[in-house]
């Protein structure tokens, strides 16, 4: 990976990186609402909790706190939460178990979408499931690997997610 990093990411990268995440949320929400409004509300609450978990558990420890990272969340975090400089993000190791809630953001609507297809076939649901599966795997991998992580200063300083992925890819 290139070692050059951004102090503040260019806006076009922030837009592209967030577009994939927001598309996963939107398709997921549509599929869950199609199942029932209560499921949609529960899924929306889960996604909001995931954002809060990121801001409170990672962004406030991150180098990009108050700055524009690849997702712009360092800046958003500084609007709501005080910085936690005493423990840098690099000092917070994570395991694959810690990433399960992130994977569930796309796996929950994917699972319910497949159940809906079995109950009654719909080209629209099939198309949305295929797009969601692509965005939740290849799409997310591309924006992180080619944009957000490639130019990230926190990666140079030490990033627990990067360490986990590189450890796994070397194993």
Q: What are the residues binding ligand SF4 (CB under 6 A)? A: 58-59, 62, 64, 69, 71, 73-74, 152, 154
71 vs 112, beta carbon nearer ligand SF4: 71
Q: To the nearest whole angstrom, how small is the minimum distance from the Cβ of residue 62 to ligand SF4?
A: 3
102 vs 133, beta carbon nearer ligand SF4: 102
76 vs 114, beta carbon nearer ligand SF4: 76
Place of tokens 């944009």: 147
Q: Which two tokens stand for residue 150?
A: 């490639």
Q: What whole-number distance in Å separates Cα of residue 53 and Cα of residue 73?
A: 12
Q: To the nearest whole angstrom, how small is the minimum distance from the Cβ of residue 71 to ligand SF4?
A: 4
Q: Which two tokens stand for residue 24?
A: 């996963």
Q: To the nearest whole angstrom, how small is the minimum distance from the Cβ of residue 100 to ligand SF4?
A: 18
Q: To the nearest whole angstrom, how small is the minimum distance from the Cβ of residue 153 to ligand SF4?
A: 9
116 vs 143, beta carbon nearer ligand SF4: 143
- Those residues with Cβ within 8 angstroms of residue 66's Cβ, 6 or more apart along the chain or in another chain: 74, 75, 77, 78, 83
Q: Which two tokens stand for residue 92?
A: 């917070």
């Amino acid at each position: 990976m290139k070692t050059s990093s951004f102090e503040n990411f260019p806006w076009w990268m922030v837009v592209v990186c967030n577009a994939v995440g927001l598309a996963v949320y939107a398709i997921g929400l549509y599929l869950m609402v199609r199942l029932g409004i209560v499921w949609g509300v529960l899924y929306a609450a889960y996604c909001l909790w995931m954002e809060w978990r990121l801001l409170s558990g990672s962004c406030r420890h991150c180098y990009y706190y108050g700055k524009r990272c690849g997702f712009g969340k360092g800046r958003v975090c500084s609007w709501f939460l005080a910085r936690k400089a005493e423990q840098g993000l690099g000092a917070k190791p994570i395991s694959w178990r810690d990433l399960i809630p992130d994977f569930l953001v796309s796996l929950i609507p994917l699972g319910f979408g497949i159940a809906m297809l079995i109950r009654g076939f719909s080209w629209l649901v099939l198309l949305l499931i295929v797009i969601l599966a692509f965005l939740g795997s290849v799409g997310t991998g591309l924006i992180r690997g080619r944009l957000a992580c490639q130019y990230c200063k926190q990666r140079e300083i030490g990033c627990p997610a990067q360490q986990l992925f590189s450890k796994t890819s070397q194993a």
